[in-house]
Structure 1
Amino acid sequence: MIRRFLRSALLAFCLAPALAHAAAAMAGRVVDGATGAPIAGATIIVDGHLVPVDEMGRFAVASQGPVFARAPGYRARTITLTASPPTDAVLRLEPFTPKALYLTVYGIGSSSLRDPALAVMREKGLNALVIDVKGDRGLVPFPSATAMTVPGARAITTIPNLAELVATLHAQGIYLIARIVTFKDPLLAASRPDLAVKRGNGELFRDRENLAWTDPLQQAVRDYNIGIAIEAAQAGFDEIQFDYVRFPDANQRLRFAGPTTEKDRVAAIAGFLGEARRRLLPYNVYVAADIFGYVCWNLDDTGIGQHLEELAPQVDYLSPMLYPSGFQFGIPGYRNPVSHSYEIVRLSLENALSRLNISPKRFRPWLQAFKDYAFDRRSFGGGEVRLQTKAAEDVGVDGWMLWNPRNVYGNLGVEQQAAR
């Protein structure tokens, strides 16, 4: 035993100088490009693996080559470290606050919808677009090798060349978010009933829109959606956003591939997001999850597998849908949400932040830019939109996204601002 200890100690003594030199030669610090302040908890990736970053933004890598860096509230960046430069390279990330409009599968391909949206962005100084790369009905509008395996998923092409579209919009300074409607997928469910959510009698479950869903417990369903996400990342999108990343909200007994207690549901959704984030590490893209607005308030999983404390560690951004029309029961102190747009947005975000104790930059909410459907049918034009954006800005989150399923953005009520 003593001999083994001496051999181990001798080996460690001989290797220590080399290892220390390698680590020192590849050391770096991540800092705010505007202030020079360290960015604690930044994400550093080398060879597809996460590298620890301390409270002073310091990190060390043991190999040369590309280093990916990102942190919520900043533009992602890639640099190359070699053994010869200074031992303490400074990696500066530029602050960035996305303010986005949304375009559907059809909107991105229609000049009558896309061009006016881009004009509004130029006029108002907005700087980001959310684009469907897998839409609400399972359609994938670009030549996707992954989607070719599902009949009907490639029924239309509104984006002939995804990488070319990304390059064109990037040249205009636009930050690009790829929206992927995940478990609501009538095309995959129809072609693979073994992967679908079923009713108690074995028939396909269909929601209020008569759309079928796929089972979050099935690995093949996860692989399909992550495969499309990887294609979007390879095309150059800045961020992958998973929507409908949940179990269906159905008041009936449904059949899945395994148990679906609250614990099981939460584990399935958090597990999917964690897996997606790991598999997207080689592409230096941000990962976001859209969540119900009430998830900011409910202490359970809202019956759909979305539990705030379990979701936050798995993604870069949480994107609660804070549409006043979606708050059927209001929030504490405000029973009529459409008359209190500012309070709905601000208080929901503040409540979520108080629970998580994380930076507000980890949130980027969806806001309402469509007519109310649940209360008094009021229009959500300039005044209502501005109340919501001001609430988000007052909390200090990393921007916001405006949702209008018709892709019509007239008087937004947002102030002219320089796109950062």
Structure 2
Amino acid sequence: MINRWILWSVALLCLHPMASATADSLAVTAVDATTRAPIAGATLVSGDRAWISGRDGAFVLPATAPGATMAVSVRAPGYARVKASIRGEAHEIISMTPIRPKAIYLSVYGIASRELLGAALALPERTAINALVIDVKGDRGMTPYPSPAREAVGAQAHVPAKAPRVKDLPALVKSLHDRGLYLIARIVVFKDDPLAQAHPAWAVRDAEGNVWRDREQLRWIDPTISAAWTHNLDVAEEAARMGFDEIQFDYLRFPDAPGLQFHETNTAEHRVGAITGFLSAARERLLRYNVYLSVDIFGYVCWNLNDTAIGQQLETLGEQVDYISPMLYPSGFTWGLPGFERPTDHPGEIVSRSLAQAIRRTGLPGVRFRPWLQAFRDYAFDHRNFGAAEIRAQTDAADAAGTDGWMLWNPRNRYEPMALPR
């Protein structure tokens, strides 16, 4: 648990952002490596303590003993994480390099496939791709590595014996970092058929009290059960220890089906409380790793003023995560948008207008958003292929909104180099 001293320190720095070092403290300033401008709102972590930089980019830390060093990690939206050793002899400057991840998605099958991984690794030389989103726990509850957390709760017993595996995922993570790639660990949270099989008491129930299954005949975990939170945070911690730069939570929501039963009454207050409660627990649990946190949300959440009946209330997410990732696939806007009855005819406008709505409603800068974009064939309107023109319209719209890059989704993990931005 984060102790009260940490919370008090963070609150104090927010109230007095121009605080300076004293004889009993150490001043550290985060600056942009390119412009040398101070970075406000950066997070510095040392052990289980955290500090937030003020408007001048400065942190005020406890002084170190003469000759001693303090290992720190600093993150800020829009920048790569920095690890450093701080000495107490002078005012320390930490330079942070701007980065805008432009990623493709690799499923459990994709990261374990020599062919698909090889094709993905050829893209940075020919395209703008500089990041990967990798399933650490996928849609069917599989992990591409032998997860102690999955074994401990009995979920692994309900995964196919021939599930894809990476021989040494931590070693692969290191090799991908050596290539200069930004790595995002995708964790599917409440859609978890193996976990629901292992713990039926945690499963979502239908109106008759039977274990509910979705259209794919998969079971879900009740988001109001905190024990299930703990397990997913165990998996997230495994990913953080492997060295992933960011932990991305997907399916962090209630099922979008009527008449379901949960341990708590199905009200907007309880739904939103479960989602924000999980994210708050994730921030606390993963503090010492100083990884970036992100959450995937439905595209319509940018527009709906309520929680879309799934617990995703847009205005509640910015305080919990570094990045909000709306899924802005034109095919997913099945009811269209005002003025756009066929969203697939207007992929750029769908992205730009949705991001504008999200930025306006939250008051957050564009860099706090990184959208999912469509790189797959349409399934809802005219079944058109999303090629270079459609993909470029989306990526241009995201770039114009000042987002922290973008992510391309293709469930088959196949990305044509000629269709990707350069």
Is the structural similarity TM-score above 0.5? Answer: yes
Q: Please name the residue that 2:35 is paired with.
A: 35
- TM-superposed deviation, 1:359: 1.5
- Match for residue 131 of structure 1 among 134, 140, 148: 134
Q: Which amino acid aligns with 1:364?
A: R
2:106 is aligned with 1:103: yes
C-alpha distance in structure 2 between counterparts of 1:111 and 1:140, whole Å: 17
Q: Please name the residue that 2:354 is paired with.
A: 348
Q: Please name the residue that 1:377 is paired with.
A: 383
- Match for residue 282 of structure 2 among 251, 276, 282: 276
Unmatched segments (≥5 aa) in structure 2: 1-20, 65-69
Q: Please name the residue that 1:68 is paired with.
A: 73
Q: Please name the residue that 1:116 is paired with.
A: 119
TM-score normalised over the length of structure 1: 0.91
Per-residue Cα deviation, 1:16-75 (whole angstroms, up to 9, x for no partner): xxx93121xx21111111100111111122222221321111111115421221111100
Change in 2 beyond 3 A, CA 1:34/1:289: same
Per-residue Cα deviation, 1:241-281 (whole angstroms, up to 9, x for no partner): 00000000002x21111122101100110110111111111
Quick check: 1:381–1:411 contact (8 Å CA) kept in 2?
A: no
Q: Please name the residue that 2:203 is paired with.
A: 196
2:290 is aligned with 1:288: no
Q: Please name the residue that 1:260 is paired with.
A: 266
- TM-superposed deviation, 1:154: 7.7
Alignment of 1:12-51 (within 5 A): 20-23=22-25, 26-51=26-51
2:181 is aligned with 1:174: yes
- Match for residue 236 of structure 1 among 234, 239, 243: 243
C-alpha distance in structure 1 between counterparts of 2:42 and 2:283, whole Å: 15
Partner SS state of residue 421, structure 2 = coil
Quick check: 2:29–2:92 contact (8 Å CA) kept in 1?
A: yes
C-alpha distance in structure 2 between counterparts of 1:300 and 1:409, whole Å: 35
- TM-superposed deviation, 1:152: 2.5
Partner SS state of residue 179, structure 2 = coil
Quick check: 2:105–2:133 contact (8 Å CA) kept in 1?
A: yes
C-alpha distance in structure 2 between counterparts of 1:342 and 1:92, whole Å: 35
C-alpha distance in structure 1 between counterparts of 2:287 and 2:387, whole Å: 39
- Which deviates further from its counterpart, 141-150 or 283-292? 141-150
Q: Which amino acid aligns with 1:164?
A: A
Partner SS state of residue 138, structure 1 = coil
Q: Please name the residue that 1:387 is paired with.
A: 393
Q: Which amino acid aligns with 2:318?
A: A
Alignment of 1:145-164 (within 5 A): 145-149=148-152, 150=155, 151-153=157-159, 155=161, 156-164=163-171
Partner SS state of residue 123, structure 1 = coil
Partner SS state of residue 106, structure 1 = helix
Per-residue Cα deviation, 1:303-345 (whole angstroms, up to 9, x for no partner): 1000011111100000000000000111122111000000000
Quick check: 1:389–1:414 contact (8 Å CA) kept in 2?
A: no
Q: Please name the residue that 1:399 is paired with.
A: 405
TM-score normalised over the length of structure 2: 0.91
Change in 2 beyond 3 A, CA 1:164/1:154: farther
CA RMSD of aligned residues (A): 1.4
C-alpha distance in structure 1 between counterparts of 2:94 and 2:366, whole Å: 23
- Match for residue 338 of structure 1 among 344, 348, 353: 344
Aligned length: 393
Quick check: 1:290–1:320 contact (8 Å CA) kept in 2?
A: yes
- TM-superposed deviation, 1:153: 4.3
Per-residue Cα deviation, 1:102-139 (whole angstroms, up to 9, x for no partner): 10001111112111122123211311000001010011
Q: Please name the residue that 1:13 is paired with.
A: none
2:252 is aligned with 1:245: yes
Unmatched segments (≥5 aa) in structure 1: 1-18
Quick check: 2:127–2:417 contact (8 Å CA) kept in 1?
A: no
C-alpha distance in structure 2 between counterparts of 1:68 and 1:352, whole Å: 30
Q: Which amino acid aligns with 1:295?
A: V
- TM-superposed deviation, 1:415: 3.2
Q: Please name the residue that 1:79 is paired with.
A: 84
Choose 1 or 2 for highest CA Rg: 1
Quick check: 2:126–2:417 contact (8 Å CA) kept in 1?
A: no
Change in 2 beyond 3 A, CA 1:352/1:125: closer
Q: Which amino acid aligns with 1:297?
A: W
C-alpha distance in structure 1 between counterparts of 2:29 and 2:375, whole Å: 41
Quick check: 1:147–1:153 contact (8 Å CA) kept in 2?
A: no
Q: Which amino acid aligns with 1:298?
A: N
C-alpha distance in structure 1 between counterparts of 2:63 and 2:334, whole Å: 54
Q: Please name the residue that 2:7 is paired with.
A: none
Quick check: 1:367–1:400 contact (8 Å CA) kept in 2?
A: yes
Q: Which amino acid aligns with 2:134?
A: I
Partner SS state of residue 62, structure 2 = coil
Q: Which amino acid aligns with 2:48?
A: G
Quick check: 1:367–1:403 contact (8 Å CA) kept in 2?
A: yes
Q: Please name the residue that 2:12 is paired with.
A: none
Q: Which amino acid aligns with 1:54?
A: G
C-alpha distance in structure 2 between counterparts of 1:412 and 1:224, whole Å: 41
C-alpha distance in structure 2 between counterparts of 1:49 and 1:360, whole Å: 28
Quick check: 1:143–1:157 contact (8 Å CA) kept in 2?
A: no
2:186 is aligned with 1:183: no
Partner SS state of residue 268, structure 1 = helix
Quick check: 2:109–2:164 contact (8 Å CA) kept in 1?
A: no
C-alpha distance in structure 2 between counterparts of 1:384 and 1:269, whole Å: 33
Q: Please name the residue that 1:3 is paired with.
A: none
Partner SS state of residue 123, structure 2 = helix
Q: Which amino acid aligns with 2:29?
A: R
Q: Please name the residue that 1:56 is paired with.
A: 56
